[in-house]
Amino acid sequence: MQQQTQTEPDKSLFEFEAYEEEQEDILERKSESFWKGSFQRLLKNKGAIISLVVLILITVISLVGPFFNEYHYAEQDIARSDLPPLVHGLEWLGLDGTNSHGKNVYDDRSMTNEPSWLGTDEFGRDLWTRIWKGTQISLLIGVVAALLDLLIGVIYGGISGFYGGKLDDFMQRVLEVLMGIPNLILIILFILVLQPGIFSIILALIITGWVNMARIVRGQMLQLKGQEFIMASRALGATNKRLIWKHLIPNTLGPIIVTVMFTIPTAIFFEAFLSFIGLGIQPPLASLGTLIEDGFQNMQYFSYKLIYPAIVISAIMVSFNILGDGLRDALDPKMKT
């Protein structure tokens, strides 16, 4: 039997790829968990990190700011009414206590030793204290409403998407009815029935606020429940409760977190709007909406009453939206590369 000889392949038939060190780094890179990779991608988003820092600073200052001076947010003193801002050392920024006519009101009233950093309203209430107290209330309403929307939406959407069939059809018809009703009209009618206040505003916001969360969770459930790891868990004897809370819900946390981050500024906006039209927080309590409404009424002569709360609520809204966009990109597996 004649022995076959091995011949070398013709190198002209092959195209050789140039070696790059970056390719070696990719090949040698260790696998990382989903949450670790998401956190690293979030850290690379400078806008999201700056927004997170701004939100943390605003939250901290709103908690400790009212204790920086001796004035209570509801304390009235007609002798101190409509005082302009005064901060010693920052006169070059215009915070020198002068009114629209160029006169120093503090000198005229012999109140140099009792400055008001952001001025006072027509009742002599300190605006620095009221702005940060109002920020507390606005953030409280936004966060509580978002958490209740999260709880109701995850439970409702999870049950609807997991069990499917006639139950899913019935639950979706309920959602369609709720979505067909203008939520702003429903919220206003609900507050008119109840007394305006923090509790009634939160209840009004969660009437339809959870619908979007329920639809997102349902869609994720329908997408995940037919995948192989769910079928494997069923074959191993996992109960429906374990499938939902140990496998399905954790895999939907990304869209859930992003939705919550957009729900909070929406709730804050609705509270500000309701307070602006007189259906929200009632004096002497303060929220950013009531402060903006009061500043709007006196905008021509006392513009500072509108400027400062408008800056705070704008910073909150913009920061939440930028952070939500950053989280959406960071939690998207497609952004891994």
Residue 60 is encoded by which pair of tokens? 């901290």
In the beta sheet, which residues pair with residue 144? none
Q: What is the pLDDT of residues 80-127, one digit of tens each?
A: 777 777 776 666 666 666 766 666 666 665 554 566 777 788 887 888
Interval 130-144 mean pLDDT: 90
Residue type, 18: A
Structure confidence at residue 124 (pLDDT): 79
Any idea what DSSP says for residue 81? T
Half-sphere exposure of 304 (CA within 13 A, CB side): 23
Q: Is the pLDDT of residue 54 over 90?
A: yes
Q: What is the pLDDT of residues 163-203, one digit of tens each?
A: 888 888 898 888 888 888 777 787 778 777 877 778 888 88
Nearest to 292 by CA among 140, 136, 135: 135
Interval 215-241 mean pLDDT: 81
Interval 198-223 mean pLDDT: 84
Nearest to 327 by CA among 267, 264, 247, 259: 259
Sequence spans of domains, the chain:
52-70+127-336, 83-119
Structure confidence at residue 1 (pLDDT): 45
Residue type, 215: R
Q: Who wins on pLDDT, 235 or 74?
A: 235
Residue 140's CB is within 10 A of a number of other CB atoms, namely 16
Q: Who wins on pLDDT, 117 or 293?
A: 293
Whether pTM exceeds 0.85: no
Class of domain 52-70+127-336: mainly alpha
Q: Who wins on pLDDT, 151 or 68?
A: 151
Q: What is the pLDDT of residues 30-53, one digit of tens each?
A: 556 667 777 788 888 888 899 999
Structure confidence at residue 237 (pLDDT): 78
Average pLDDT along the chain: 79
Q: What is the pLDDT of residues 314-327, one digit of tens each?
A: 999 999 989 888 88
Q: Roughly what angle, to the nearest 10 degrees, separates helices 253-276 and 288-297?
A: 40
Structure confidence at residue 90 (pLDDT): 63
